[in-house]
Amino acid sequence: MTVRSEPAQHAGMRASNLALVLGEIARTGSVSRARVAAHTGLTKSSVSALVTDLISAGLVAESGPASTERGRPATALALAPAGAAGLGLEINVDYLAAVVTDLAGAPRYHHVVRRDNRDRGVDEVVADLIDVARTAAGSAAAQGLPLAGACVAVPGLAVDGTVVRAPNLEWPRVDLADSVGDAIGLEVVLENEANLAALGEMWFGGHQDDSAPLRDFVHVSGEIGIGGGIVIDGEVFRGAHAGAGELGHVVVAPGGPRCACGGHGCLERMAGQQEILARAQVATMADLTHACEAGDQAALDAVADAGRHLGVALASVLTLLDPAAIVLGGAFATLAPWLSAATSASIGHHTGATEPPPLLVSGLGSDAAVRGAAGTVVRRVIADPAAYLAQRPAGRVGPS
């Protein structure tokens, strides 16, 4: 039997309690030391000492009198505006994006570069992403925001820092995390863009104040590719091999057009952004939106047809998972006024459900994945502030 030494036990308990206190402050937004003690079960003296450490570390700030206290007002605690920040990056088929969020998740920098990445070499795209990341990191440094790390959203399967499969980009295996991390001087993790979009929606999409906050739902990312982020009890479900949620490659039209994955009649080929634009005979999403608003029948028919095929795929999802809601993101969020009715009717037809879950429209649109990426970084700091403080170089506010 292995017995931990007293110093190791003490360090482990302190790390756990730091996370408990910082998590409570993050959850409530503004709270007194006494309330933190009451909600965490720690003693007031322990909370006071831990809060002092978190303030010294720049993660917590005193923000004025606590509004919920009786008698003499107590000093309220909140996440420090200039505490640890997260860098979110996204590679998608037709754009690169970067977001910096502060410890509370508020965006402090946002930039999107529009370009078609399908016919460009991997090295060229990665070099551009590094440039985007460096510019974002420079903005963070100028604002005095210390970056705790970076997370990259990718349109495909990512495992242990490597892009394993990205069919819409036609990429081979790419060791992306190390390439970007070495260039910008930060720890970098990768995640599927649909999973991050679901997390971004749950954390920042404006549903947190609903009577039933999003905890069990499927987020559908509708861009050139289509992805599904599955959230069960507040956690992303990735599956045994990190491939869960590949909604775009569910076959909805057997014998239909060939897909980049090698299949035929996949949802992406029947309801992807590129296919909708082609059927509507317009060039851009802005053109499509204007055409739908003007009542153009070809545009309305193209969107409705996509909605029906989307409903076929979602019917299977609902039957298997029974989520509380479906969130339409990306292009589907933009097209929701003309797409939702056909999608709902198709779901009802293929499931027989008399009360299917609501179709909600994303509050973040195409920014959901990159917001989720940045949020992932700061949430890790909140979950384990001791680990962040142990690895943070003194005085560092960004990559060198």
Q: Which amino acid is at 120?
A: R
Q: Shortest CA distance to 147 belongs to which of 91, 182, 102?
A: 102
Q: Shortest CA distance to 230 belongs to which of 340, 323, 163, 309?
A: 323
Residue-level pLDDT at 67 = 58
Residue-level pLDDT at 167 = 84
Helix (H, G, I), strand (E, B) or coil at 29: coil
* DSSP-assigned letters across all residues of 75-134: EEEEE-TTS-EEEEEEEETTEEEEEEE-TT--EEEEEEEE---TTS-HHHHHHHHHHHHH
The two structure tokens encoding residue 224: 């050139």
Helix (H, G, I), strand (E, B) or coil at 244: coil
Residue 241 clears pLDDT 60, i.e. is over it: yes
Tell me the C-alpha to C-alpha distance, in Å, between residue 61 and each of 135, 263, 277, 294: 28, 54, 50, 51
71, burial (CB in 10 Å: exposed 0-12, middle 13-18, buried 19+): exposed
Domains and CATH numbers, the chain: 6-79 (1.10.10.10), 85-198+368-391 (3.30.420.40), 208-363 (3.30.420.40)
Residues 319, 16: Cα–Cα separation, whole Å? 40
Residue-level pLDDT at 261 = 84
Give residue-wise pLDDT tens across range 315-345.
999 999 999 999 999 999 999 999 999 999 9
Residues 41, 122: Cα–Cα separation, whole Å? 51
Residue-level pLDDT at 399 = 41
Residues 120, 334: Cα–Cα separation, whole Å? 27
b/e string for 199-227 if b means 16 or more Cβ within 10 A?
bbbbbbbebeeeeeebebbbbbbbbbbbb
Average pLDDT over residues 176-186: 96
Q: Shortest CA distance to 202 belongs to which of 244, 236, 166?
A: 236
Residue-level pLDDT at 2 = 47
Cβ 117 vs Cβ 94: under 8 Å:
yes
Mean of per-residue pLDDT scores for the chain: 90
Identify any residues that bridge with 89 across adjacent strands, giving them in sequence order.
98, 152
> Taking the model in full, what pTM does it have?
0.89
Q: Shortest CA distance to 373 belongs to which of 196, 223, 227, 219?
A: 196
Tell me the C-alpha to C-alpha distance, in Å, between residue 73 and each of 25, 35, 42, 140: 18, 12, 21, 35
Greatest mean pLDDT among 20-29, 241-250, 294-303, 360-369 = 294-303
Cβ 156 vs Cβ 164: under 8 Å:
yes
Identify any residues that bridge with 20 across adjacent strands, giving them in sequence order.
none
Q: How many residues does the chain have?
A: 400
Give residue-wise pLDDT tens across range 4-51.
545 556 678 999 999 999 999 999 888 999 999 999 999 999 999 999
**3-state DSSP percent of the chain in helix, strand and coil, to 5:** 45, 20, 35
Least confident of 126-135, 185-194, 233-242, 273-282: 233-242
Residue-level pLDDT at 125 = 96
Least confident of 45-54, 171-180, 273-282, 347-356: 347-356
Average pLDDT over residues 200-221: 81
Cβ 382 vs Cβ 22: under 8 Å:
yes
Residue-level pLDDT at 212 = 61
Residues 156, 32: Cα–Cα separation, whole Å? 44
Residues 373, 189: Cα–Cα separation, whole Å? 9
* DSSP-assigned letters across all residues of 173-218: -B-HHHHHHHHHTS-EEEEEHHHHHHHHHHHHSS-TTSSS-SSSEE
Helices 6-28 and 33-40 sit at what angle, rounded to 10 degrees?
110
Give residue-wise pLDDT tens across range 338-393.
999 999 999 999 997 768 889 999 999 999 999 999 999 999 999 999 999 988 75
